């Protein structure tokens, strides 16, 4: 009998050792949590018309832009914060946030040599190949640090093709006709609470314009980072693909570790004309908060694309591993006949993270097609909701949608929810919805263990397999990055 006791103690020790290792891994998981010590210029907390004017003035904006912001601000003041998402957080005090923070620098930089070396080091830590010579891999980066776009690389190469890739503040000054035509044309400043707030105070972001018939020869990329404390980041991105144009765009996001929650309310607008295509990929790794749910980014984002032209296509791919709360629904308005909308998503919630994410596919044109593939992974106390709307308008003859929502649960304290909305006004259309929920299989883990693979690696392998349909939509190098991120996000989630 003594022997039995001994055995049990040993196995308990082993498992508590395992747990410790897992705990250590989990607690060290956010590897992008450093703060860069550079001088920055930050506005006092609070929001009123003067702050909006100040932001506009800081950016040397023309009068029409200031007016647009003010209209948005006045509209926003009358709006109420939405409470319908399946997420819970204390009331945000919008007067307790600073709406502008910029690294103190010379107003205009001509080359990378002029950028603050501290800032360049930060980007190096983030793994952004900012220096031009490193960009042979074909990635052009527009890096947004807090509120200002620091440097845009590869501009010259793009210029030759007639492509515009610059910060949105620059575009306001240099391409006002395009901005006036397209800004707010997909997401108007009246759209929703956070989109209106963004319209009033947006600090920077990217602008991409691909001229008629041009295929952008490289992946374009923006890297966002929130560095200062108590600042919100309100970037605004606008991408326009003219007739027959094509571009693939990637955004990545990180933030330092802060105890308090930080607000990120971005707006992304995409427009495709006849036969044009935009592929928009996101790897979102904002600070998710600690294991007890303290701190982390509130990620309230409005992303929408309009397939205005016939045979045009917009494809959203997102890998959401970060943020304390994620609230976003990258959507497609399929106006042009035969236009195609796609949404591929992996959303991970671990510890106390909450995500309410999905898409809206609005079919207006004839023979429009949409595909939705959503993979939700919940671990720890995480709460993951898919919310999606498929709307088939009355003129959308022959429209088709296929939706697949799969949820994987990795603990018994996490949650997965699905809220699919389907509105069909045309009888010739076809809408399919499939949904599955599964618990990560102990038998799968044991099978891999039995082949010499550790439990951590087994979990990663199973989860990667689960997400494969989404990862294969990402550009190669980012797919690898996304897999690593997923592994880090889920470290220690199965004991």
Partner 1 sequence: MLSIKNLHANVDGKEILKGINLEIKTGEVHAIMGPNGSGKSTLANVLTGNKNYEVTNGNVLFEEKDLFDMDPETRAREGMFLAFQYPIEIPGISNATFLKTALNEIRKYNKLPELTPTEFLDRIKDKAKVLGLDDTLISRAVNVGFSGGEKKRNEIFQMLILEPKFVLLDETDSGLDIDALRIVSNGVNIYRNPNNAFLVVTHYQRLLNYIQPDFVHVLYKGKIIKSGGKELALELEEKGYDWIKTEEFETENAWPESE
Residues 6+ apart with CB under 8 A from 346: 318, 319, 320, 321, 375, 377, 467, 470, 471, 482, 486
Rounded Cα gap, residues 164 and 176, in angstroms: 13
Which of 201, 240, 297, 462 is close enough to bind partner 1 by CB under 8 A? 462
Which of 425, 439, 447, 480 is close enough to bind partner 1 by CB under 8 A? 447
Q: Is 310 helix (H, G, I), strand (E, B) or coil?
A: coil
The mark string for 36-75 relative to partner 1 (x by CB under 8 A, - otherwise) is ----------------------------------------
Which of 66, 185, 371, 464 is close enough to bind partner 1 by CB under 8 A? 464
Which of 449, 476, 477, 480 is close enough to bind partner 1 by CB under 8 A? 449
Nearer to partner 1, 397 or 469 (CB): 469
Q: Name the region of 205 (left: φ>0; alpha: ψ -120 to 50; beta: rest).
A: left
468 counts as binding partner 1 under rule CB under 8 A: yes
The mark string for 404-433 relative to partner 1 (x by CB under 8 A, - otherwise) is ------------------------------
145 contacts 225 by C-beta, under 8 angstroms: yes
Residue 208, token pair as written in the block = 């991409």
- CB of residue 458 to partner 1, shortest distance in Å: 8
Which of 20, 379, 393, 442 is close enough to bind partner 1 by CB under 8 A? 442
Which of 7, 125, 134, 430 is close enough to bind partner 1 by CB under 8 A? 7
454 counts as binding partner 1 under rule CB under 8 A: yes
Residue 137, token pair as written in the block = 């891999």
Rounded Cα gap, residues 283 and 493, in angstroms: 21
The mark string for 179-208 relative to partner 1 (x by CB under 8 A, - otherwise) is ------------------------------
Which of 127, 138, 465, 495 is close enough to bind partner 1 by CB under 8 A? 465
495 counts as binding partner 1 under rule CB under 8 A: no
Classify the C-alpha dihedral 490-492-493-495 as positive or negative: positive
Nearer to partner 1, 39 or 443 (CB): 443
Residue 493, token pair as written in the block = 């989630």
Rounded Cα gap, residues 97 and 102, in angstroms: 15
135 contacts 123 by C-beta, under 8 angstroms: no
Which of 95, 110, 133, 450 is close enough to bind partner 1 by CB under 8 A? 450
91 contacts 298 by C-beta, under 8 angstroms: no
Residue 184, token pair as written in the block = 């707010």
- CB of residue 449 to partner 1, shortest distance in Å: 4
329 contacts 266 by C-beta, under 8 angstroms: no
296 contacts 261 by C-beta, under 8 angstroms: yes
Q: Which stretch binds partner 1 (CB under 8 A): 21-29, 274-282, 336-344, 450-458?
A: 450-458
Nearer to partner 1, 97 or 448 (CB): 448
For residue 392, list its beta bridge partners.
363, 424
- CB of residue 263 to partner 1, shortest distance in Å: 35
22 counts as binding partner 1 under rule CB under 8 A: no
Q: Torsions phi, psi of 28, nearest 5?
A: -100, 20
Residue 325, token pair as written in the block = 């709360």
- CB of residue 357 to partner 1, shortest distance in Å: 21
- CB of residue 341 to partner 1, shortest distance in Å: 24
Length in residues, the chain: 495
- CB of residue 487 to partner 1, shortest distance in Å: 13
Helix, strand, coil fractions of the chain, as percent rounded to 5: 30, 35, 35
Q: Which stretch binds partner 1 (CB under 8 A): 93-101, 287-295, 444-452, 481-489?
A: 444-452
Residues 6+ apart with CB under 8 A from 269: 182, 183, 184, 185, 186, 187, 236, 237, 238, 239, 304, 305, 306
14 counts as binding partner 1 under rule CB under 8 A: yes
Which of 109, 126, 257, 461 is close enough to bind partner 1 by CB under 8 A? 461
Which of 23, 230, 397, 469 is close enough to bind partner 1 by CB under 8 A? 469
- CB of residue 468 to partner 1, shortest distance in Å: 4
292 counts as binding partner 1 under rule CB under 8 A: no
Contacts with partner 1 by CB under 8 A lie at 3-4, 7, 10-11, 14, 441-444, 446-455, 457, 461-462, 464-469
């Amino acid at each position: 009998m003594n022997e039995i006791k001994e055995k049990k103690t040993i196995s308990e020790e082993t498992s508590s050792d395992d747990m410790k290792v897992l705990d250590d891994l989990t607690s060290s998981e956010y590897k992008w949590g450093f703060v860069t010590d550079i001088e920055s210029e930050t506005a006092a907390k609070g929001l009123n018309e003067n702050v909006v004017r100040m932001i506009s003035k800081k950016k040397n904006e023309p009068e029409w832009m200031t007016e647009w912001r003010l209209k948005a601000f006045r509209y926003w003041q009358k709006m109420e914060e939405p409470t319908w998402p399946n997420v819970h957080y204390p009331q945000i005090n919008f007067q307790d946030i600073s709406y502008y923070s910029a690294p103190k620098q010379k107003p205009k930089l001509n080359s990378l040599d002029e950028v603050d070396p501290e800032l360049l080091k930060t980007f190096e830590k983030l793994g952004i190949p900012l220096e031009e010579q490193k960009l042979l891999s074909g990635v052009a980066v527009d890096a947004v640090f807090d509120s200002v776009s620091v440097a845009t690389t590869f501009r010259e190469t793009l210029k030759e093709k007639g492509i515009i890739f610059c910060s949105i503040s620059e575009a306001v000054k240099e391409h006002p006709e395009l901005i006036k035509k397209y800004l707010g044309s997909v997401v108007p400043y009246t759209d929703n609470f956070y989109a209106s707030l963004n319209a009033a105070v947006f600090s920077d972001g990217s602008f991409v314009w691909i001229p008629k018939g041009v295929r952008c020869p490289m992946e374009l990329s923006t890297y966002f980072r929130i560095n200062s404390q108590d600042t919100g980041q309100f970037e605004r991105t606008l991408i326009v693909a003219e007739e027959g144009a094509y571009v693939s765009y990637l955004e990545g996001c990180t933030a330092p570790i802060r105890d308090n929650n930080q607000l990120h309310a971005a707006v992304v607008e995409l427009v495709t004309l006849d036969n044009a295509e935009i592929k928009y990929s996101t790897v979102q790794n904002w600070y998710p908060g600690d294991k007890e749910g303290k701190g982390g980014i509130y990620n309230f984002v409005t992303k929408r694309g309009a397939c205005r032209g016939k045979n045009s296509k917009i494809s959203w791919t997102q890998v959401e591993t970060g943020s304390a709360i994620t609230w976003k629904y990258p959507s497609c308005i399929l106006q042009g006949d035969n236009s195609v909308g796609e949404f591929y998503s992996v959303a991970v919630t671990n510890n106390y993270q909450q995500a309410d994410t999905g898409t809206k596919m609005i079919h207006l044109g004839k023979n429009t097609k949409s595909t939705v593939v959503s993979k939700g992974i919940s671990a720890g106390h995480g709460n993951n909701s898919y919310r999606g709307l498929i709307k088939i308008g009355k003129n959308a003859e022959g429209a088709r949608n296929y939706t697949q929502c799969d949820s994987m649960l990795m603990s018994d304290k996490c949650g997965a929810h699905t809220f699919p909305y389907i509105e069909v006004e045309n009888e010739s259309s076809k809408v399919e919805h499939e949904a599955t929920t599964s618990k990560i299989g102990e038998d799968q883990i044991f099978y891999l263990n039995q082949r010499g693979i550790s439990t951590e690696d087994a979990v990663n392998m199973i989860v990667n397999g689960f997400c494969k349909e989404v990862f294969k939509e990402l550009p190669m190098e980012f797919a690898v990055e996304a897999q690593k991120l997923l592994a880090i996000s889920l470290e220690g989630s199965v004991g």
